[in-house]
Structure 1
Amino acid sequence: MNQAVPAIVRYHIRHDTRYRYDQPVGESRQLLRLTPRELPWQHTCAHRLDIAPEPARRQAFVDGLGNLVETLHFERDHDALFIRAESWVELRQRDLPALADSPPWETVREMLEYRAGRGFDEARLEACGYLFESRHVRVKREFADYAAADFAAGAPLLVGVNRLMRRIFDEFTFDPEATDVSTPVTEVFEHRRGVCQDFAHFMLSCLRSLGLPARYVSGYLLTRPPPGKARLIGADATHAWVAVYCPGHGWVDFDPTNALMPDLEHITIGWGHDFADVSPLRGVILGGGEHEPEIAVTVVPEDEFHTLYGSAELPGLQPA
C-alpha cells in the first residue's frame, strides 16, 4: 500500500556562512537573501538572523523582483564574519497542472512577442522580463537547436518543458568539480557537466532561446541520507531550479537536476533572471586579503528536529 502524502509539511532550515579573513576588514557592506518567500503554498512560520560581529546598521527591504533582502553595514575592524539564518517553513501540497492542458508552445511565444500597439496585462508584462539574456544566461541558436527536439510543432508548452528537463537530467552529469560560479553556460553545454546552478542556467538558456519566458529559482531541497546513515548537521546545500510562465497556470517549476516538478521538498528563497539576482550573500569589503566562505546548510523535517539537535531550544523559532 502506498504511504499517504501529507498535505502540509514543516521544515527547519539552518544556513551558516563563515568568513575567516587573512587581514582585518575595516569596512564591509553585505546583501543577504536568506528569508524564504511567502507563496500560496509556502509560509514562513519564523525566521531570524544571528550575526557576529554585530553590524553598525541593518535594513530590510523587498527588491524589484519581490525577494526579501537584508543589508548589513560593518564599520569596525574584524577578522571574521559569521551569519546564521534559521527558519521554520510550512509547505502545502501544490496543485500541479496537467502538462497536456497547457497551450501550444508557439502560441505562448507569439503572445509575448513585441508588436506595435500591443498591450500586456501585469502577468504577461512580468513574464516578458524573463525572455532575454542575463549575466549567466545566453540566448543563442545552439541552445534553441538543442531544445527543438523536445518542442514539436503544436506540442503543449509544459509537455515540451518536461521533456527538456528530463533530457538534461539524462545527458548531463552532476559533477561539483567541473564548474564554479564563473563558468559560462556555453562551457557547461560543451562538457555537459556541472551542478544544479549550471543545469538551471542551461535550461533557461534553452527556453529563452526559443522565445519562452523562464526564471531562475533559488532555495533549498530536502536531501535524504544514505540507507543506514544518520542525517548530519551542515550536510545539505542551497539548490536551484527553473520556473516557466504558462498562460492559464502562471509560473510552473521544473527541477532539471532531479527530473521532477518541485512540490513538498523544495523550499523557495527567491527568484530572478539568474543566480546573480538571488545570491544568498554578496557584498564589498575594505581589506580582508584572501578568503573563502565556509557554508553549511541543514534542512530537517519537523519530526526529526529533536533527533538531530537534541533538546535545543530556539527562542522565537518554534513552528507556529
Structure 2
Amino acid sequence: MRYRLRHTTSYTYSWAVDISHHMLHLALPDLPRQRVKSCTVSTSPSAGRMSEQQDHFGNRVAWLTLGESHTRFNVELRAEVEVDPVQAPDPEATPGWESLRDALAGDGFPVPVAESEFIHDSPLALPSDEAIRYALASFTPGRPVLAAARDLTGRIYKDFRYDPMATEIFTPVAAVMQKRAGVCQDFAHLEIAMLRGLGLAARYVSGYIRTLRAGDAPVSGLPNTALRGADASHAWISLWCGPDHGWIDLDPTNNLICSDEHVTAAFGRDYGDISPVRGVVLGGGPHRIGVAVELVPLA
C-alpha cells in the first residue's frame, strides 16, 4: 500500500516567544517493510538552524532553533511512503512466553542484548500489581507468546473505553487501569507495562493509521468505524517474539496485528522518548496546540 501523509502541528502563544529550541521525531524511517519515497519537514517561522541525526534507538531526529520573535509555530510533515502487508506467524507456533522471559533475563545463550533493553520499566510504562494480574489471565503457563499477547490485546480493546477526555499526556498506567478508559497512547503504555511486568520485551511505536473515507473497503476485516486513532498521530506496541519471529506489532486501540494500514515514525521505551514535537521556549505564556493528520492511499 502506498500512502500520502500530511501531519501538521501548530502552537499559538498568548504573547511573543523570543527564542525556542525544538526536537522533532517526525521524519519517517526506511524499514524492512516500509519504503519512504519522499519526506519533507518544514516549519513556520523557518528555522535559523536545523540538523538531523539518529537517536539511541536509530530513529531520525531533527534539532532546530527559532531565533526570531513569533506568536505562532507551525510544523508540517509531508511524505509518500509504501508499506508491505505483514505475514504474521501462527500465534500458536510462537515460543512459550516463559522461555522468552527466561532468555531475556539472562538464562538463555546468547542473551539478546538489544531486546533486553526493552524489558525494563520506563517512566510512562510502569507496571502495577493490578496490571500484572490482569495480564496473567492471558499469559497462562506454557502458552505461546503471540497467542497470549493477541488475547491480551483483545481484552484491552474490549474492557477499556476509547475516550479522548479521560486522560492527559502523562496519565500513569495505574490511573488508566482505574478509569478503564483512555486513548491510543494510554493503551500502548498499558500493554507495554503489562508485558514488561511479566519479563517480556515490548517497545512503544509512534506513527499513523490509515484515514478511512466513506465507501473505503474495510481494513483487516474490521468495519470502517472500528479504526480508532485516525486523523491524529497514533501509537501501538511491538513485542519481541523470539529470534525466529522478531518484533511483532500489535495495536490494542483497534485489536489488530499491525499490517499495511500502519505507518511507523519512531520507536522507544515510551512516548517520552519519541514525542513528535517537543521543545523549550523563552516567553509565550499559555498556548494552544492543534494537530491534524491525513494518511490517504494513493491510487
TM-score by length of 2: 0.92
How far apart, in 1, do the equivalents of 2:190 and 2:214 lie? Answer: 29
**Correspondence 1:96 to 2:92:** no
Q: CA 1:192–1:140 in 2, change beyond 3 Å: closer, same or farther?
A: same
Letter in 2 for 1:199: F
- Give the superposition deviation at 1:94: 2.1
Letter in 2 for 1:297: V
**Correspondence 1:224 to 2:219:** no
Letter in 2 for 1:212: L
Which residues in structure 2 correspond to 1:43-62 (within 5 Å)? 43-62=35-54
Question: Residue 109 of structure 1 aligns with which residue?
Answer: 101
The answer to whether the 8 A contact 1:236-1:296 is kept is yes
Q: 2:129 aligns with which of 138, 141, 154?
A: 141
How far apart, in 1, do the equivalents of 2:238 and 2:71 lie? Answer: 39
Percent identity, please.
38
How far apart, in 2, do the equivalents of 1:285 and 1:278 lie? Answer: 19
- Which of the two has higher C-alpha Rg? 1
How far apart, in 2, do the equivalents of 1:63 and 1:81 lie? Answer: 24
Which residues in structure 2 correspond to 1:142-221 (within 5 Å)? 142-221=130-209
Q: Secondary structure at the match of 1:64?
A: coil
Q: Secondary structure at the match of 2:287?
A: coil
Question: Residue 241 of structure 2 aligns with which residue?
Answer: 246
Question: Residue 63 of structure 1 aligns with which residue?
Answer: 55
* 1:53-96 CA distance string (max 9 Å, x none): 11110000010001101111111211111111100000112221
Letter in 2 for 1:242: I
How far apart, in 1, do the equivalents of 2:234 and 2:250 lie? Answer: 12
Structure 2 gap segments, 5+ residues each: 217-229
Q: 2:285 aligns with which of 273, 284, 289?
A: 289
**Correspondence 1:275 to 2:263:** no
Structure 1 gap segments, 5+ residues each: 1-8, 229-234, 304-320
Letter in 2 for 1:237: A
- Give the superposition deviation at 1:98: 1.3
How far apart, in 2, do the equivalents of 1:141 and 1:214 lie? Answer: 18
How far apart, in 2, do the equivalents of 1:119 and 1:154 lie? Answer: 20
Letter in 1 for 2:128: K
Question: Residue 310 of structure 1 aligns with which residue?
Answer: none
Letter in 1 for 2:251: D
Letter in 1 for 2:290: E
How far apart, in 2, do the equivalents of 1:146 and 1:94 lie? Answer: 28
- Give the superposition deviation at 1:246: 1.2
- Give the superposition deviation at 1:120: 4.0
- Give the superposition deviation at 1:227: 5.5
Q: Secondary structure at the match of 2:257?
A: coil
Q: Secondary structure at the match of 1:15?
A: strand
* 1:94-147 CA distance string (max 9 Å, x none): 2211111111100000111146xx7645xx111111111111111333221111
The answer to whether the 8 A contact 1:132-1:139 is kept is no
Q: Secondary structure at the match of 1:202?
A: helix
How far apart, in 1, do the equivalents of 2:40 and 2:59 lie? Answer: 16
* 1:214-272 CA distance string (max 9 Å, x none): 010100001323559xxxxxx71111110001111111111101111010100000100
- What is the aligned-residue RMSD (CA, Å)? 1.5
Question: Residue 20 of structure 2 aligns with which residue?
Answer: 28
Q: CA 1:146–1:52 in 2, change beyond 3 Å: closer, same or farther?
A: same
TM-score by length of 1: 0.86
